[in-house]
Structure 1
Amino acid sequence: MRLRTWIQLSTTLVLIVLLLIANTAIYFIFKNSVISSEMNRLTNTLNHTVMELNSNSNLSMEQVLQAYLISNGMIRVVDRNSNTIIQVTTNNDYRNIQSEYNDDQFEEVVSYKESMFVVVSIPTIGENGEIVNLQVVENVDVFFENIHDLKWVFVYATIIKVLILSLTSRFLGRIISFPIQRLTQTMSLIEKKGSFEKISITHDTKDELTEMAMTFNRMITRLEKSYLKQEQFVSDASHELKTPLTVIDSYVKILNRWGKERPDILEEAIHSIASESGRMKYLTEQLLLLARSEECIESEKRLVNIIPIVEDTIHRLQQAFKHEIYLKSEQREIYMNIHEQSFVQVLIILLDNAKKYSDDHIEVELKESDKSVIISVTDKGIGIPVEAQAHVFDRLYRVDKTRSRKTGGSGLGLSIAKRIVEQQNGFITLESDEGRGSTFTVTFPKLEV
């Protein structure tokens, strides 16, 4: 069953049940109220009749009953044997309505010859001093006709309301199911075309259906990004691994031809294969690191003083770089909530990049302001051309490919650093003057501190 049909049937059924319950309750409440009101009126008539009998000893009981006779009914006196002693009536047909004696007051509704009557009886003292029942009987066909008309009014009103509710629920079902239909259509389109389509949100409401569409769009955005990252990773890997694999394959073919006969070719081939294999290993590690850096491990973040971490990193790298690395910081304590390994990785990438393209000393500066923590790494190297500065953070981009191969660069380091910094809600910038050096500046917001 379609959701729209289910909504229409379920809402209509629920509303029909509620209408039936409400109308039935109103009908019986009104019916009982009318009958009870009439019984109270007749009881008051009998009480006044009794008072009149007790106060007017000169009048006979029949005369008093005649005086209090109602317009469409009968007043009678019934003895202990349920026999009628005296009765006055406006219609002789009423005389045959069965009488019954009771020691207590009672009210009832009886049917006689397809007519409805209300009977009210109270005990009193008769003319001979014995206990008798004084009963009033009234024809209430008019009331029951009104009640019967009311019943049909409820029936017709219920039918009309059900029709209106059916149309309304159908319209409501269309409104509710429309975003779901769009979602289904969008998913079908994605399945057929293999594209990443999104649901168009035409109004800015905060209902559940809009939230569902927004959640779907966010999910599609994440899937698209994940797919593009995967595609980019495969493209990067295939592009960068193609050259060393070609070199290795070429030298393997040379070895097969002349490797056993010419030692110089054997030595050259072994050296080149080892060099290209090492480069492939390094490149693979960098690509995997870049893929892993897309996920920030929030649970491993902790609040630490970054000054000792920076000092320790500089000390370790200075032994390998054989460059002088100077740290400049006016503070001895700068606390940040960071993933320590990722933070150290950013420092290593920036310092390694400075070392590759500079033979002079390297400067690291730490500054803390009210809103941010700033880390800058400055080298006195060859600098970066203006036209290349906008691309240095792109994957596998190298300003000087020949020089990069000599220094072992893969074009992935700065891209990795940029991803890690963005995971910390920070950003990285570059200032470079060709021939005079470059400064990479990392800014972390104080919210992370």
Structure 2
Amino acid sequence: MSIKRKIALLTTLWLVGILLAVNLTVYYAFLRITTDNERDLLLHRAHTLLDKAQPTDILQGKNTDLLQIYLPDQGMIRLLDPHGKILQTIDNDNEILQIAPEPVTSDQSELYRKSVGNILVVRTPIVSGSQVLGTMEIAEKLDVLEDHINILISILTLCSLGAIGMSLIGGLYLSKWILRPISGMVHIMEEIEQSLVYRKIPLNDGSKDELHAMASTFNRMMSRLEDNFIRQQQFISDASHELKTPLTVIEGYANMLRRWGLKDEENGRVAVDAIYSEALRMKQMTEHLLDLASTENKPELAMEPIELVSFSANTVDMLRKLYHREMKVISTHDTLLLNANPGTMNQLLHILLDNALKYSKDSIELILSEKTHSVTHQEGIEIRVKDKGIGIPEDELHRVFERFYRVDPSRHRKTGGSGLGLSIARNIVRLHGGTIDIESKEHEGTEVTVFIPYP
């Protein structure tokens, strides 16, 4: 069953429940009120009759004419002695006589539901002084009340059926109108599934309801999926292009070895060295691709406290010995505690320092300090890596975090870069809840600033 029909059915069932409760309330309230009114009228008639006659005269049958005057149209007046023995009965409807006599000492009333209809009986004691001499019963058949009840039931039934019908029709149209954006969303999803072309739902800015919010969320999701799809296609294209170059080199030298073998020792050595070099570069690129995928897909990292000054000094010492370059750590504090993931933090420092080493021949500075972020106003640690290298053109700064981007593509063989380092660095910083920014001037140098907030 569709949601539209479910909504219409549920609203109709809810209305049926409400109407049933209301109709029962109206019915029993009407029955109670009209019965109470009839009872009051009969009691008033009985009291008036007793006020106009002497108790002993009534019980002795001397006021028959008076009893006839107060006899209801479809009713009975019956006189009883204190023990319930019938002394006199006046009636104009024999069906009422089936009501059993019952002596009382105070005013009472009772509604009898018989096959012939509803019969209301009031009983009042006949007293002389403080002595109860007998009981007067006045009964009336409530045919008019039954007619009124039947009319009421007919009206309530017709009105309820009309309301249910209108509710069912209105529910169908209302649910169709409410679910129109969802139907449009389903239609667009089906088109996307068939054509693989991303589309968005047209929005009505005049309505800011939940359906508008859902459609807006769907459109944002489509934009994000489309962007991710484009990035994925670009990534595949870039990766294929980057891998094509070393594979071409390997293929060329392999063909040379296949044709000439090892007859020319010098050419053979050059070919083997070239193949080995390109294989290492492909291995490095593959590792970087895996690192990039790993940092992008990790929802969170296992954090632990690390002392950043000594941690950074160890990394710098290792790179200094490896590259035989001048590098130094500058810190505003002797110790700086940071809650971070040691493995990815070490990878981050390697990426930033390795980039500085590749594009600069001068001394590299790693500066550590406590800072308050200028935008978020969070307290944290700032890591800056400064070099005096070739710099980055101002119009290229916005591209430095793109995959496979290199400032000087012609130098990438010489430097060995894959263009993935800063993309990995950005993901690592993001996983630590921080920010990364780059300032650079061409031919003057570059400064990379990483801010990681305290937890």
User: Shorter-chain-normalised TM-score: which range?
Assistant: 0.7 to 0.9
Output the CA distance in 2 between the equivalents of 1:379 and 1:130.
122
Measured after TM superposition, the shift of residue 194 of structure 1 is 0.8
* Secondary structure, counterpart of 1:39 in structure 2: helix
Deviations 1:354-374 (A, max 9, x none): 111222211122232333543
1:94 maps to 2:93: yes
Partner of 1:327: 329
Q: 1:177 aligns with which of 176, 179, 203?
A: 179
- Partners of 2:97 and 2:291 in 1: how far apart? 104
In the other structure, the counterpart of 1:23 is 23
1:314 is displaced (CA, Å) by 1.5
Residues 42-87 of structure 1: CA deviation (Å, up to 9, x unaligned): 2454355456656676993436535654576442335789767242
Structure 2: distance between partners of 1:215 and 1:252: 54
Alignment correspondent of 2:376: none
Tell me the alpha carbon deviations over residues 329-382 of structure 1, each in whole angstroms, 9 at most, x when there is no partner: 222344444333223222211111111122221112223233354322111223
CA contact (8 A) 2:385 2:449 kept: yes
Using the alignment, how far apart are the partners of 1:61 and 1:430 within structure 2? 119
> Which is worse superposed, 156-165 or 228-237?
228-237
- In the other structure, the counterpart of 2:303 is 301
Matching residue's letter, 1:421: V
Partner of residue 238 from structure 1, selected from 230, 237, 240: 240
Distance 1:226 1:389 in 2: 22
Asked if the contact 2:55–2:127 (Cα under 8 Å) also holds between the matched residues in 1, the reply is no
Q: How does 1:306-321 map to 2 (within 5 A)?
A: 306-321=308-323
Name the SS for the 2:296 alignment partner. Answer: coil
Kindly provide the CA deviation profile for residues 180-231 of structure 1, in whole angstroms up to 9, marking residues without a partner as x: 2122112102101213334444359786545544554454455445434433
Matched, 1:412 2:420: yes
Distance in 2, Cα, partners of 1:55 & 1:97: 24
- The TM-score normalised by the length of structure 2 is 0.83
Aligned-residue Cα RMSD (Å) equals 3.4
Q: How does 1:2-41 map to 2 (within 5 A)?
A: 2-41=2-41
Query: If the length of structure 1 is used for normalisation, what is the TM-score?
Result: 0.84
Structure-2 residue corresponding to 1:167: 169
Give the stretch that moved more between structures: 216-225 or 156-165.
Answer: 216-225
Q: Is 1:107 aligned to 2:110, yes or no?
A: yes
Instruction: Please report how far the alpha carbon of residue 162 of structure 1 lies from its aligned counterpart in structure 2 after TM superposition.
Output: 1.3
Summarize the Cα distance change of 1:302–1:224 in structure 2 as closer, same or farther, 3 Å threshold.
farther
* 1:372-416 CA distance string (max 9 Å, x none): 543221112233344443433322122223322112111221222
Superposed, 1:211-226 pairs within 5 Å as: 212-217=214-219, 219-226=221-228
Task: Verify the 8 A CA contact 1:233 1:287 in the aligned structure 2.
Answer: no
Q: Any residues of structure 2 matched to 1:123-202 within 5 Å, and which?
A: 133-202=135-204
Task: Call closer, same or farther: CA 1:200–1:335 in 2, change over 3 Å.
Answer: farther
Superposed CA offset, 1:255-300 (max 9, x none):
1111143222222221111111111111111111122221344241
Deviates more, 1:276-285 or 1:302-311: 302-311
| Partner residue, 1:266 | 268
2:451 is aligned to 443
| CA distance, structure 2, for counterparts of residue 171 and residue 146 of structure 1 | 37
Separation in 2, partners of 1:335, 1:175: 59
SS of equivalent to 1:332 = coil
* 1:397 and 2:396 are equivalent in the alignment: no
Extract unaligned runs of 5+ from structure 2: 374-379
Where 2:179 maps in the other structure, the secondary structure is helix
Cα separation, 1, equivalents of 2:52 and 2:335:
108
Q: For the Cα contact (< 8 Å) 1:297–1:339, is it kept in 2?
A: no
Provide the identity percentage: 35
Q: List aligned pairs for 1:317-396, cutoff 5 A.
A: 317-371=319-373, 373-396=381-404
Could you tell me which runs of 5 or more consecutive residues in structure 1 were left unpaired when the two chains were aligned.
none
Question: What is the alpha-carbon distance in structure 1 between the residues aligned to residue 118 and residue 326 of structure 2?
Answer: 116
Using the alignment, how far apart are the partners of 2:102 and 2:301 within structure 1?
Answer: 87
Q: Which amino acid aligns with 1:314?
A: V
Query: Which SS does the other structure have where 2:372 is aligned?
Result: coil
Number of aligned positions between the proteins: 440
2:442 partner letter: E
**Aligned equivalents of 2:300 and 2:357: distance in 1?**
31
Using the TM superposition, name which of 399-408 and 280-289 deviates more.
399-408
Q: Is the 8 A contact 2:96 2:141 kept in 1?
A: no
Give the 3-state SS of the residue equivalent to 2:425 in structure 1.
Answer: helix
Instruction: Report which stretch shifted further, 163-172 or 202-211.
Output: 202-211
- Correspondence list, 1:75-94, <5 A: 75-77=77-79, 85-87=88-90, 93-94=92-93
Amino acid at match of 2:35: I
The question of whether the paired residues in 2 share the 8 Å contact of 1:23 and 1:154 is answered with yes
Q: Counterparts in 2 of 1:42-61, with a 5 A limit?
A: 42-47=42-47, 49-50=49-50, 60-61=62-63
Could you say what secondary structure the match of 1:294 adopts?
helix
- Alignment-mate amino acid for residue 413 of structure 2: R
Distance 1:297 1:2 in 2: 37
Give the direction of change, closer, same or farther, for the CA distance of 1:41–1:377 in structure 2 (3 Å limit).
Answer: same
